[in-house]
């Protein structure tokens, strides 16, 4: 069949139409591709360049270098050292099972250690860092670095960690650092800003109080990586700032002596400059090694500390509240003198256990069985006659006594809000009992408050401050533990005397001198005759249970009484007596009595403190000349 001319034209038109449609389609596709390429390469250039860099360039923040803490003489008591760590980011690991078992073999991990790592891995998100170890030896760290070609996603890190060279000597002052937890991060913007896996932050003590100053800022490293995420080139290193250093007023040598004196005992020793308010030593016993907490304390070590019946976790200097016993008597006598209740000639006849003070059916005994006889203020202080102070307190009243005690620093925090654990203690009065217990004050409660028993509770640091202000002539001081630029300048507030009549302070000073340096004084055996070291003080014995008639008749020696029923032993003192400069307080829990347990410690302390006084002054004078 022969095609007609019309059919040929139709076929040609159909072909042309198809070619036009195909060509148009190709044209529009080309236009779309060109437009898309233009959009990606020109319009979205920065976005995809950034994404490309993120694949090619990695940024690591390193833990900030923490500021050091030194004592007054520049000895480092909280320093830093290089710690070798091993991190893994699970989402960057192609075969986690292979890598983690390879790491186990290289580090020679025990099954227990390995189980802990696997447990940690299950507790974190895939993109979070798994810290396999935060304190590797150099040998193991080097071994890991030599096998990185086979350990995709493994990251060896050189970090800076904390070290406490004096171990348990400063624990309750300085505190310790440990790994930051969720609460630390949520409650501190600075910790949140500087957070990196394994970051150590202050948990207690000055490490916590000065966290914002000590923490520093991160170093930042930028690296180029290959397709497997391995580093091939360092592009940039941005140096962070080390945290600010902290200089304390404490003398390490005196601090170590306080630790030795309280070895195997529970208690506290504080030493204070009576003019600047500088803390020379402040130790709570028993203590523990803060280095145990830096990399996470083991369960065994934690249980040993936690279950110790002497409570090493409690800072007894700031948190321990105790009846002050007879160490309160200088304040009782001063308050009575200031309020015109008594004078130096006021006399009481102490007739011992056979003729105790009786009030409303209650009897109040002096500690001396046969009695002291006729006592004036000086002799009553010297021999610590309870009967005398019962009568003084009765005439004085608890409200006036409370007012004087608070003036001298009892019943409130000594360091303000510096330590969030510090207790106020309790200096009771009639209004307090009405508000707190809904009861009226009883006369018998006034009587026992006069010898530091009953509701009254003080901390060892408050007793030290009280004694310092008696020793400096009755002027208010502001205790401090962190040295500052004007450390050589006296911190005594000359415009805030704590007395009405300066002669009353002198009377109390003289009575405390007699208590330590004259025959029959309760701390006479602990005296130092050399005027260079001579000190004045007051012993104290605080009952921890009510003494019954049967107890008095038994008259047991301290070692015959169960430990937890023994009295607390206390001693407060200042010296040298002729030119006073330092005050101290000593408390030994269940130590028996102050004269035999606490006072002898003061003798050793004053020799050390005063021998180091010239060295301390040379530091102050040098600083003053540099200014």
Whether residue 192 sits in one domain with residue 62: yes
**Distance of alpha carbon 429 from alpha carbon 406, whole angstroms:** 11
Whether residue 256 sits in one domain with residue 242: no
Residue 158, domain CATH: 3.90.1310.10
pLDDT above 70 for 252:
yes
Mean residue pLDDT of the chain comes to: 87
**Distance of alpha carbon 174 from alpha carbon 67, whole angstroms:** 13
The domain boundary residue, chosen from 225, 247, 269: 247
Which has more confidence, 489 or 92? 92
**Distance of alpha carbon 228 from alpha carbon 30, whole angstroms:** 36
Contact 585, 542 (CB under 8 A): no
**Distance of alpha carbon 185 from alpha carbon 191, whole angstroms:** 6
Contact 250, 230 (CB under 8 A): no
Domain of 174, in residue numbers: 58-247
pLDDT, tens digit, for every residue of 72-81? Answer: 999 999 999 8
Q: Which two tokens stand for residue 618?
A: 């040379």
- Separation in Å, CA 174 to CA 70, 272, 405, 583, 616: 10, 17, 29, 22, 21
Contact 385, 350 (CB under 8 A): yes
Count structural domains, the chain: 2
pLDDT, tens digit, for every residue of 397-407? Answer: 999 999 999 99
Ramachandran angles phi, psi of 351, nearest 5° = -110, 15
Whether residue 198 sits in one domain with residue 258: no
**Distance of alpha carbon 466 from alpha carbon 468, whole angstroms:** 6
User: In the predicted model, what is the mean pLDDT of residues 157-161?
Assistant: 82
Whether residue 278 sits in one domain with residue 193: no
User: Which residues make Cβ contacts (< 8 Å) with residue 117, sequence separation at least 6?
Assistant: 100, 109, 130, 132
Quick one: pLDDT band at residue 487, thresholds 50, 70, 90? Answer: very low
Quick one: pLDDT band at residue 345, thresholds 50, 70, 90? Answer: very high
pLDDT above 80 for 38:
no
- Within a domain: residue 20? no
Of 12-16, 253-257, 334-338, 527-531, the range with the lowest mean pLDDT is 12-16
User: In the predicted model, what is the mean pLDDT of residues 582-602?
Assistant: 96
As a residue count, the chain comes to: 627
In the beta sheet, which residues pair with residue 79?
A: 163
Whether residue 442 sits in one domain with residue 331: yes
pLDDT above 80 for 460:
yes
Ramachandran angles phi, psi of 3, nearest 5° = -70, 140
Ramachandran angles phi, psi of 337, nearest 5° = -70, -45
pLDDT above 50 for 489:
no
Q: For residue 326, give the nearest of 607, 567, 85, 138 by alpha carbon.
A: 567
Which has more confidence, 224 or 159? 159
* Per-residue confidence (pLDDT) for residue 228, from 0 to 100: 52
- Measured CA angle at 483 (ends 481, 486), to 5 deg: 130
Please report the sign of the dihedral spanned by the C-alpha atoms of residue 277, residue 281, residue 287, residue 291.
positive
**Distance of alpha carbon 416 from alpha carbon 403, whole angstroms:** 19
Coil, helix or strand for 163?
strand
- Within a domain: residue 110? yes
* Per-residue confidence (pLDDT) for residue 322, from 0 to 100: 97
Locate the DSSP E strands across 351-406: 357-359, 362-364, 373-375
- Within a domain: residue 573? yes
- Within a domain: residue 21? no
Which has more confidence, 112 or 43? 112
- Within a domain: residue 41? no
Whether residue 224 sits in one domain with residue 355: no
* Per-residue confidence (pLDDT) for residue 627, from 0 to 100: 45
User: In the predicted model, what is the mean pLDDT of residues 242-255?
Assistant: 96
- Measured CA angle at 302 (ends 313, 128), to 5 deg: 110
Whether residue 257 sits in one domain with residue 240: no
Residue for token pair 């960057």 = 92
pLDDT above 90 for 1:
no
Residue 530, domain CATH: 3.40.710.10
Whether residue 267 sits in one domain with residue 201: no
Contact 411, 360 (CB under 8 A): no
- Within a domain: residue 31? no
pLDDT, tens digit, for every residue of 378-424? Answer: 999 999 999 999 999 999 999 999 999 999 999 999 999 999 999 99
H or E, element range at 356: none
pLDDT, tens digit, for every residue of 98-157? Answer: 888 888 888 888 888 888 888 888 877 777 778 888 888 888 888 888 888 888 778 888
Q: For residue 162, give the nearest of 154, 170, 152, 153 by alpha carbon.
A: 170
Q: Exposed/middle/buried for 106, CB within 10 Å: 0-12, 13-18, 19+? A: middle
User: In the predicted model, what is the mean pLDDT of residues 87-97?
Assistant: 83
Whether residue 260 sits in one domain with residue 213: no
- Within a domain: residue 43? no
pLDDT above 50 for 352:
yes
* Per-residue confidence (pLDDT) for residue 349, from 0 to 100: 96
- Measured CA angle at 254 (ends 248, 255), to 5 deg: 60
Ramachandran angles phi, psi of 89, nearest 5° = -105, 105
Which has more confidence, 119 or 518? 518
Whether residue 332 sits in one domain with residue 221: no
* Pairing assessment for the beta strands 279-285 and 357-359 based on DSSP bridges: unpaired
Q: Please report how the helices 329-338 and 386-396 are oriented relative to each other, as an axis angle in degrees rounded to 10.
A: 40
pLDDT, tens digit, for every residue of 257-308? Answer: 999 999 999 999 999 999 999 999 999 999 999 999 998 888 899 999 999 9
Whether residue 156 sits in one domain with residue 279: no
- Within a domain: residue 598? yes
* Per-residue confidence (pLDDT) for residue 625, from 0 to 100: 46
Whether residue 162 sits in one domain with residue 295: no
In b/e form, how buried is each residue of 179-198, taking b as 16+ CB within 10 angstroms?
bbeeebeeebeebeebbbbb
Coil, helix or strand for 586?
strand
The domain boundary residue, chosen from 222, 247, 272: 247
pLDDT above 90 for 581:
yes
Contact 581, 562 (CB under 8 A): no
Q: For residue 505, give the nearest of 373, 364, 331, 357 by alpha carbon.
A: 331
């Amino acid at each position: 069949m022969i095609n007609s001319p019309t059919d040929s034209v139709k076929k040609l038109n159909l072909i042309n139409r198809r070619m036009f449609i195909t060509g148009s389609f190709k044209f529009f596709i080309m236009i779309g591709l060109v437009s898309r390429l233009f959009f990606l390469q020109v319009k979205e250039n920065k976005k995809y360049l950034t994404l490309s860099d993120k694949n090619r360039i990695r940024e690591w923040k390193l833990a900030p270098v923490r500021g050091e803490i030194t004592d007054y003489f520049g000895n480092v008591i909280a320093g830093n050292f290089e710690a070798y760590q091993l991190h893994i980011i699970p989402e960057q690991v192609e075969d986690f099972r292979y890598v983690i078992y390879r790491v186990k073999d290289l580090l020679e991990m025990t099954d227990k250690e390995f189980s802990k790592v696997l447990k940690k891995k299950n507790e974190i998100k895939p993109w979070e860092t798994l810290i396999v170890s935060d304190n590797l030896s150099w040998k193991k760290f080097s071994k890991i670095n030599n096998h990185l070609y086979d350990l995709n996603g493994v990251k060896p890190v050189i970090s800076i960690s904390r070290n406490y060279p004096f171990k348990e000597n400063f624990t309750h002052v300085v505190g310790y650092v440990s790994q930051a937890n969720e609460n630390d991060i949520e409650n501190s913007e600075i910790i949140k800003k500087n957070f990196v896996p394994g970051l150590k932050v202050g948990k207690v003590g000055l490490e916590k109080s000065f966290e914002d100053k000590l923490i520093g800022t991160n170093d930042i490293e930028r690296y180029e990586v290959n397709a497997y995420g391995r580093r091939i080139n360092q592009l940039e290193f941005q140096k962070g700032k080390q945290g600010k250093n902290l200089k304390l007023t404490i003398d390490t040598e005196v601090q170590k002596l306080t630790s030795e004196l309280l070895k195997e005992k529970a208690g506290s020793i504080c030493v204070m400059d009576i003019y600047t308010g500088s803390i020379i030593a402040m130790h709570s016993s028993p203590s523990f090694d803060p280095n145990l907490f830096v990399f996470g304390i083991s369960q065994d070590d934690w249980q040993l500390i936690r279950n110790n019946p002497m409570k090493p976790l409690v800072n007894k200097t700031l948190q321990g509240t105790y009846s002050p016993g007879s160490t309160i008597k200088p304040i009782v006598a001063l308050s009575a003198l200031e309020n015109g209740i008594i004078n130096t000639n006021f006399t009481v006849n102490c007739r011992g256990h056979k003729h105790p003070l009786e009030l409303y059916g209650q009897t109040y005994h002096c500690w001396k069985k046969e009695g002291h006889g006729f006592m004036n203020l000086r002799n009553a202080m010297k021999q610590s006659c309870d009967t005398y102070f019962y009568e003084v307190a009765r005439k004085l009243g608890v409200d006036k006594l409370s007012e004087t005690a608070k003036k001298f620093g009892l019943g409130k925090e000594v360091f303000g809000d510096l330590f969030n654990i510090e207790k106020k203690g309790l200096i009771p009065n009639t209004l307090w009992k009405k508000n707190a217990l809904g009861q009226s004050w009883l006369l018998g409660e006034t009587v026992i408050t006069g010898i530091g028993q009953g509701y009254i509770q003080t901390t060892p640091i408050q007793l030290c401050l009280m004694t310092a202000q008696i020793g400096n002539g009755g002027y208010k001081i502001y205790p401090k533990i962190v040295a500052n630029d004007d450390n050589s300048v006296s911190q005594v507030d000359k415009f805030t005397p704590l007395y009405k009549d300066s002669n009353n302070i002198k009377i109390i000073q003289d009575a405390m001198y007699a208590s330590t340096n004259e025959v029959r004084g309760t701390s006479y055996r602990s005296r130092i005759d050399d005027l260079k070291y001579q000190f004045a003080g007051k012993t104290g014995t605080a009952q921890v249970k009510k003494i019954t008639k049967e107890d008095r008749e038994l008259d047991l020696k301290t070692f015959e009484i169960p430990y937890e029923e023994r009295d607390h032993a206390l001693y407060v003192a200042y010296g040298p007596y002729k030119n006073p400069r330092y005050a101290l307080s000593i408390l030994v829990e269940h130590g028996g009595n102050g004269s035999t347990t606490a006072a002898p410690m003061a003798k050793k302390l004053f020799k050390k403190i005063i021998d180091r006084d010239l060295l301390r002054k040379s530091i102050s004078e040098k600083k003053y000349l540099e200014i």
